[in-house]
């Protein structure tokens, strides 16, 4: 009956650690709450749309103000020329821009009077997010056809921003998969420190003159080296599966490395707050999985309620996904992602300062 004794021992170890048991039972509930909150909101996504009016008639102005501007998901901004709108699109400030051609008003008037006519609209959009671009084009098409309460014959000419490069589903998904892989560094890095804590190795090290920051640096450097190798293989596998890197590979690598450092730092903080490996493992996954969902790892965060997106933006991973997708799929440089990049730098530095403080308190206790 040895198996029964082992069963009783394992059961006692489980319920004697109420915090780990609580996380184990609460994790499915929290996971469902996050997923439900992300997909059940009534708040529509919002897209910034640029308008270049080359017709300058009352009809075209009415189309902009009474049709496009009334679409709930559009924030409409006027531009004088396509060059300025295209620059904003490349920087990620616009999701698309529409050119209303000369003769637009005359064509609409002919159609209203029962004469044959055809409307041609030129839409240039950011195709780095395939779901978003499809929704924008379909919404503009439907809005134009319903303008003035009639079915307007319309031809929409679409132009992706990446001239000469076709964005595939893999190009969109691959950066998110890489970020998710780096999120797993949270439980991995925490597990190493907690294992040394449970084996009493850390307590023996406390008898040496080693300082708290040296503990954190020692654990972190080994994990950073592992992260570098991991990022290399992630990018290689993404490329083999069809991911095209249009932008600077070094910049994309730097974004991923900063993301890994943030994950390692969070793992160290979790380890400092946890009393056992079971607690740390549960708490780490409690952080990483909801953050993966909210940050837009597998789907565009534009479809989530605004309060969910605001919460996700407090953490580094949504910024890392936006920046890496912009570099990889749109080929932008540092000037376009500087805000996200320096947010990652600040987060990486801040989390290690917090980790050092918490670990020093653990050493004193």
Residue 340 pLDDT: 92
**End-to-end Cα spacing for the chain:** 41
Cα–Cα distance measured from residue 333 to residue 319, given in angstroms and rounded to the nearest whole number: 15
Count Cβ neighbours within 10 Å for each residue of 305-326 and write b for 16 or more, e otherwise.
beebbebbbebbbbbbbbbbbb
Q: Are 177 and 255 in contact (CB under 8 A)?
A: no
Cα–Cα distance measured from residue 328 to residue 334, given in angstroms and rounded to the nearest whole number: 12
The helix (run of H) or strand (run of E) holding residue 138 is: helix 130-145
Half-sphere exposure of 301 (CA within 13 A, CB side): 25
Residue 163 pLDDT: 43
Q: Are 52 and 311 in contact (CB under 8 A)?
A: no
Cα–Cα distance measured from residue 191 to residue 187, given in angstroms and rounded to the nearest whole number: 6
Cα distances (Å, whole numbers) of residue 180 to 87, 164, 290, 359, 361: 31, 29, 11, 26, 31
In the chain the domains, ranked by start, together with CATH numbers, are 47-160 (3.40.1710.10), 168-364 (no CATH)
* Segments of the chain with pLDDT less than 70: 1-45, 114, 116-117, 127-132, 148-154, 158-169, 198, 200-210, 212-213, 300-303, 362-365
Cα–Cα distance measured from residue 269 to residue 192, given in angstroms and rounded to the nearest whole number: 12
Residue 335 pLDDT: 83
Residue with tokens 């690598």: 253
């Amino acid at each position: 009956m040895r198996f029964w004794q082992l069963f009783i021992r394992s059961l006692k170890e489980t319920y004697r650690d109420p915090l780990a048991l609580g996380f184990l039972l609460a994790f499915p509930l929290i996971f469902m709450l996050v997923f439900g909150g992300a997909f059940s909101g009534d708040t529509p996504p919002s897209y910034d749309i640029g308008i270049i009016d080359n017709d300058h008639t009352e009809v075209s102005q009415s189309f902009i103000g009474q049709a496009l501007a009334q679409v709930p998901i559009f924030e409409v901004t006027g531009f004088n020329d396509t060059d300025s709108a295209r620059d904003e699109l490349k920087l990620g400030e616009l999701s698309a821009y529409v050119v209303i051609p000369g003769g637009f008003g005359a064509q609409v008037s002919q159609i209203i009077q029962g004469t044959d006519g055809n409307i041609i609209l030129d839409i240039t959009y950011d195709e780095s997010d395939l779901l978003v671009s499809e929704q924008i084009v379909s919404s503009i098409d439907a809005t134009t056809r319903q303008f003035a309460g009639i079915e307007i014959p319309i031809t929409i000419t679409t132009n992706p921003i990446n001239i000469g490069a076709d964005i595939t589903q893999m190009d969109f998904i691959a950066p998110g998969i890489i970020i998710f892989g780096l999120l797993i560094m949270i439980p991995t890095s925490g597990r190493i420190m907690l294992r040394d804590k449970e084996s009493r190795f850390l307590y023996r090290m406390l008898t040496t003159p080693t300082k708290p920051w040296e503990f954190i640096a020692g654990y972190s450097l080994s994990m950073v080296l592992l992260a570098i190798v991991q990022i290399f293989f992630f990018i290689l596998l993404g490329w083999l599966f069809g991911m095209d890197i249009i932008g600077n590979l070094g910049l994309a690598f730097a974004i991923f490395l900063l993301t890994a450092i943030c994950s390692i730092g969070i793992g160290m903080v979790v380890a400092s707050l946890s009393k056992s490996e079971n607690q740390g493992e549960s708490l780490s996954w409690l952080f990483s999985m909801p953050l993966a969902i909210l940050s837009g790892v597998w789907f565009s965060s534009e479809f989530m309620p605004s309060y969910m997106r605001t919460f996700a933006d407090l953490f580094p991973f949504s910024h890392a996904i936006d920046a890496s997708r912009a570099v990889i799929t749109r080929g932008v440089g540092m000037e376009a992602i500087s805000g996200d990049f320096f947010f990652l730098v600040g987060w990486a530095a801040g989390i290690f300062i917090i980790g050092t403080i918490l670990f020093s308190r653990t050493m004193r206790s």
